[in-house]
Amino acid sequence: MEDALRKTRYSLNDLMEQLRIKGYFNIHDIEYAILETDGDISVLPKSQKRPVTPADLCIQTKYEGLPVSVVVDGKIKEDVLKYTNLSKEQIISEIQKRGINSIDKVFFACIDPEGNWFVQEKER
């Protein structure tokens, strides 16, 4: 390890700092630390030190997905209508439910996979 650090001009203090930034304060918790070509460090913790996941506990989770942008800077994104199964009328209705009377006045609107809307009006 010492030879590798010297060849890369990476000090032990640099390594320890990067490990702390990644959340590893005890070097005993680390199985491998890899210095990537961009200078970042990838860390593989020991199996007993990894965070518990729902799969570890056999817990089913629902799909989260990503929100879809529907209105950007006052314009309905036509290409997402088919993808989201929304009509222009439905979008306008959702906007109006939030007290905004025109799509032109919407800065940003999106819908998540569960059907929850986020709508931000343009500043006046």
Fold matches, 2-49 and 68-121: yes
Name which CATH class applies to 2-49.
alpha beta
Strand-pairing partners, residue 33, are 43
pLDDT of residue 23: 94
Domain ranges of the chain: 2-49, 68-121
Give tens-digit pLDDT for 99-108: 999 999 999 9
User: Which CATH homologous superfamily contains domain 68-121?
Assistant: bsu07140 like domains (3.30.240.20)
Give tens-digit pLDDT for 57-109: 999 998 888 999 999 999 999 998 888 899 999 999 999 999 999 999 999 99
CA distance readout (Å), 46 to 16, 21, 32, 58, 63: 17, 17, 8, 21, 28
Structure tokens at 24: 């590893």
Q: Distance between the two ends of the chain, CA-based, in angstroms?
A: 59
Structure tokens at 1: 């390890």
Please tell me whether the overall predicted TM-score, pTM, comes out greater than 0.85 for this model.
Answer: no
